[in-house]
Structure 1
Amino acid sequence: MEDPDLSARKYRAANDPAFPAQREEAWGRIVAALDGVLGPAGYVLARTTWNRVTAAGKSAVHLQRDRYGWDVRIVLRFVTPDGEVPDHPDWPGGEDVALAAFFEQAASDPGTLAFVDVLERPDCLDQAVDILREQVLPWFEALHQDHPPRT
């Protein structure tokens, strides 16, 4: 669902001298929320990426900041030990996967979090965390456990 008010809120934020500090507060909330679900699952945070390595490959959840400083995008990746994307029926293709591209039921990308939204509507962050916990982690776990050999 597209938020028609987001542009107006971004404009107000751009003219608010307090926004840089608010952006960092939102960033901190995002990192803490993701670490709370990924850390217990065996993912280790290095800078802006949580990684987990097994014999089947490396899964990663990466936070990609918008170059203009308005939002952050959660990007998923899995690579085999030889550095390739998995040859697996559940892999949607390509190297990086956004939450909306992977989950067909998402009307918009729940993995793109506007900093102003994280502060004003924390439920958007809760939704992203729920998707990570309930859908992404089991999907990654299946890739780690059931990765078929490449032919």
Structure 2
Amino acid sequence: MDDPDLSARKHLAGSDPAFPARREEAWGRIVAALDGVLGPAGYGLTRTTWNKVTAAGKSAVHLQRDRYGWDVRIVLRFVTPDGEVPDHSDWPGGEDVSLADFFEAAASDPGTLAFVDVLERPECLDLAVEILREQVLPWFDALHGDDPSRT
């Protein structure tokens, strides 16, 4: 969803001396929300990345902070045991995949979360969590193979 007043809200946050601490609060909310869906699915968190390794390869959900400190992007990766991207019809190509890649036409990437949005509208995390649960995890499961004994 496009938010024309996001830059104004970022500007206000930038002049707020409490924003660095509030940004870390937002970061904590994001990590907790993602861990709530990824942890039960067998993904372990190391620093800013949740990983799952099977005989078919390694899937990862990574949180990539914007270098200016305004938002975080959810980046998806899968590598085969040879370190290559999967040769699979559902793989869009390249190394990194965003949540927007799960839509034919996305107005914006639902996996790019502005810290000010997470603070002001915590429900903005709901869409990212839903996409992870309903689309990303089944997609990763298919890349890993359906045999749960291999996890």
**TM-score band, normalised by shorter chain:** over 0.9
TM-score, normalised to structure 1, is 0.94
Compute the displacement of 1:103 (Å). 2.5
Unaligned runs of 5+ in 2: 147-151
Task: Single out whichever of 85-94 and 96-105 deviates more from structure 2.
Answer: 96-105
SS at match of 1:97: coil
TM-score, normalised to structure 2, is 0.94
Provide the residue aligned with 2:90 in structure 1.
90
Compute the displacement of 1:105 (Å). 4.7
Provide the residue aligned with 2:136 in structure 1.
136
* Identity score, percent: 88
In the alignment, the residues of structure 2 paired with residue 21 and residue 104 of structure 1 have an alpha-carbon distance, to the nearest angstrom, of: 37
Map 1:7-18; keep pairs closer than 5 Å: 7-18=7-18
SS at match of 2:145: helix
Q: State whether residues 26 and 118 of structure 2, in contact with CA within 8 Å, keep that contact through their aligned partners in structure 1.
A: yes
The list of structure 1 runs, each at least 4 consecutive aligned residues, that deviate by more than 3 angstroms after superposition, is none
Compute the displacement of 1:106 (Å). 3.0
Provide the residue aligned with 1:33 in structure 2.
33
Provide the residue aligned with 1:75 in structure 2.
75
SS at match of 2:3: coil
Q: State whether residues 92 and 102 of structure 1, in contact with CA within 8 Å, keep that contact through their aligned partners in structure 2.
A: no
Unaligned runs of 5+ in 1: 147-151
Compute the displacement of 1:124 (Å). 1.3
In the comparison of the two structures, how many residue pairs are matched?
A: 146
Compute the displacement of 1:89 (Å). 0.3
In the alignment, the residues of structure 1 paired with residue 140 and residue 39 of structure 2 have an alpha-carbon distance, to the nearest angstrom, of: 14
Query: Deviations for 1:88-134, whole angstroms, at most 9, x for unmatched residues?
Result: 00101000001113332532100000000001111211110010000
Provide the residue aligned with 1:51 in structure 2.
51
In the alignment, the residues of structure 2 paired with residue 79 and residue 130 of structure 1 have an alpha-carbon distance, to the nearest angstrom, of: 23
- Tell me which amino acid in the other structure corresponds to 1:29: R
SS at match of 1:129: helix
SS at match of 1:141: helix
SS at match of 1:36: helix
Compute the displacement of 1:138 (Å). 0.3
Q: State whether residues 102 and 135 of structure 2, in contact with CA within 8 Å, keep that contact through their aligned partners in structure 1.
A: no
- Tell me which amino acid in the other structure corresponds to 2:53: V
Task: Single out whichever of 33-42 and 97-106 deviates more from structure 2.
Answer: 97-106
Compute the displacement of 1:2 (Å). 1.5
Q: What's the C-alpha RMSD, in Å, of the aligned pairs?
A: 1.0
Provide the residue aligned with 1:20 in structure 2.
20
In the alignment, the residues of structure 2 paired with residue 106 and residue 132 of structure 1 have an alpha-carbon distance, to the nearest angstrom, of: 16
